[in-house]
């Protein structure tokens, strides 16, 4: 039996730059903020999401009024998918992202600084970040496969 590792497994989260963020050329700015905080991008991919991936990713929201518009929006252009590691990165990235509604998001956050405040729908809030370690593992498997 091998000795248990003394190096803890780093925390992980799943970040998505949504189609509005990619279309506005904000991918670099989002990743810059992630890296400036000291987190590490360990997987990175730009592509279009599939309806199946989105149905699984947003399963908890199925049936809500914003569900189908959200899925349609996420299919409207390429997304950038990133697995990000770092100590406390799950709540840490959500702090970087800011409140769900860019109109309410605090200055200094991605959504607060970069969200456009002229009546856009809440769905167009630039980024997604997992809300728990369990969600991060589930979402990483959806987008990058079970071995990611």
Q: Are 34 and 40 in contact (CB under 8 A)?
A: no
**Quick check: 104 binds ligand UDP (CB under 6 A)?**
no
Q: Are 122 and 70 in contact (CB under 8 A)?
A: no
Strand partners, 12: 85
Name the residue with tokens 């730059």: 17
How many residues belong to the site for ligand UDP (CB under 6 A)? Answer: 9
Question: Nearer Cβ to ligand UDP, position 8 or 82?
Answer: 82
Q: Which of 22, 70, 82, 90 binds ligand UDP (CB under 6 A)?
A: 70
Question: Nearer Cβ to ligand UDP, position 7 or 100?
Answer: 100
Please confirm, yes or no, whether 61 is among the known catalytic residues: no
Q: Which of 35, 66, 116, 134 binds ligand UDP (CB under 6 A)?
A: 66
Torsions phi, psi for 32 (to 5 deg): -60, -45
Least separation in angstroms between CB 72 and ligand UDP? 11
Name the residue with tokens 């991605």: 110
């Amino acid at each position: 039996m091998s000795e248990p590792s003394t190096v803890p497994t780093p925390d992980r989260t799943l970040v998505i730059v949504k189609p509005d963020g990619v279309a506005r050329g904000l991918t670099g700015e989002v990743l810059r903020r992630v890296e400036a905080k000291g987190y590490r991008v360990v997987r990175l991919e730009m592509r279009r999401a599939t309806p199946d991936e989105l149905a699984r990713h947003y399963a908890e929201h199925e049936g809500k009024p914003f569900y189908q518009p959200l899925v349609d929006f996420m299919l409207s252009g390429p997304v950038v998918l990133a697995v990000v590691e770092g100590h406390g990165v799950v709540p840490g990235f959500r702090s970087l992202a800011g409140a769900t509604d860019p109109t309410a998001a605090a200055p200094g956050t991605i959504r607060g600084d970069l969200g456009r405040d002229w009546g856009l729908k809440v769905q167009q809030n630039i980024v997604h970040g997992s809300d728990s370690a369990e969600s991060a593992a589930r979402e990483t498997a959806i987008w990058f496969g079970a071995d990611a």
